[in-house]
């Protein structure tokens, strides 16, 4: 299981990276454009935060230009994984990049057919956009993950199945349904330690200890 943060904001990434359970960072062109910073400098800053994978996306469309951009991104830092559009040009680029030894993630997948195509092409990761589907499709999103998982397993496809989620419920359902990894925005990550029962219990522990011992340090006795 791997957990990724969907963000291109260095401050958010530093905060979550300190927890010690962050495996990497994903981002997309819309997020990068909204940040409105130098793309390469921001990528370099993110890569320097921790020893983790950083997923960066190409924006070109023909396969040859996708591959060209992908090689330039991969040259920025060895931990960069290149996100490639899931379409006919994208799968051609994925095959080219696989031969060149560049890791790829087929992105914005919304169907089993697309997941089959990118798995066959040899993508290292397949990012299924559960978040959007959960808002516009009446079908259970966990079934999509489970179906792709079954196909990948039956045919020994090594592509890592990633669920891009927008809620805590989608995160849990996706991992329970067979996703290898998830990516979630900062707001969802902040929910990891916001359970009211857990917070109340810890506050009770701390309060009871303070009533008995005050501010004394139990290690030193002072």
Residues that are catalytic: 83
Residue pair 19/49 in contact by the 8 Å Cβ criterion: no
Cα 205 to the chain's mean position, in Å? 35
Residues 6+ positions from 59 with CB-CB distance below 8 Å: 29, 69
Please check the confidence at residue 69 and state whether its pLDDT lies above 80: yes
Contacts (Cβ under 8 Å, ≥6 apart) of 60: 66, 68, 69
pLDDT classification of 216: cutoffs 50, 70, 90: confident
Nearest-angstrom CA–CA distance, 101 and 79: 13
Tens digit of each residue's pLDDT (9 = 90 or more) over 88-146: 999 999 999 999 999 999 999 999 999 999 999 999 999 999 987 656 555 668 899 99
The CA distance from 79 to 197, in Å, is 38
pLDDT tens-digit map of 45-68: 999 999 999 999 999 999 999 999
């Amino acid at each position: 299981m791997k957990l990724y943060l969907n963000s291109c904001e260095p401050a958010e990434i530093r905060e979550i990276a300190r927890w010690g359970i962050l495996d990497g960072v994903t981002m997309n062109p819309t997020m990068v454009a909204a940040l409105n910073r130098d793309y390469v400098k921001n990528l370099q800053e993110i890569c320097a935060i921790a020893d983790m994978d950083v997923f960066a996306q190409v924006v070109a469309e023909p396969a040859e230009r996708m591959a060209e951009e992908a090689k330039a991104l991969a040259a920025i830092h060895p931990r960069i994984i290149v996100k490639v559009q899931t379409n006919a040009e994208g799968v051609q680029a994925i095959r080219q990049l696989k031969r060149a030894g560049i890791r790829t993630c087929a992105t914005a997948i919304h169907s089993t057919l697309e997941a089959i195509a990118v798995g066959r092409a040899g993508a290292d990761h397949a990012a299924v956009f559960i978040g959007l589907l959960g808002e516009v499709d009446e079908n259970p999103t966990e079934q999509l993950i489970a179906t792709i998982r079954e196909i990948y397993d039956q045919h020994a496809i090594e592509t890592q199945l990633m669920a891009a989620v927008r809620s805590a419920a989608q995160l849990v359902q996706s991992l329970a349904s067979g996703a290898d990894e998830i990516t979630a925005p900062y707001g969802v990550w902040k929910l990891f330690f916001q359970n009211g029962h857990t917070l109340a219990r810890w506050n009770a522990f701390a309060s009871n200890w303070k009533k008995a011992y005050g501010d004394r340090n139990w290690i030193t006795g002072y």
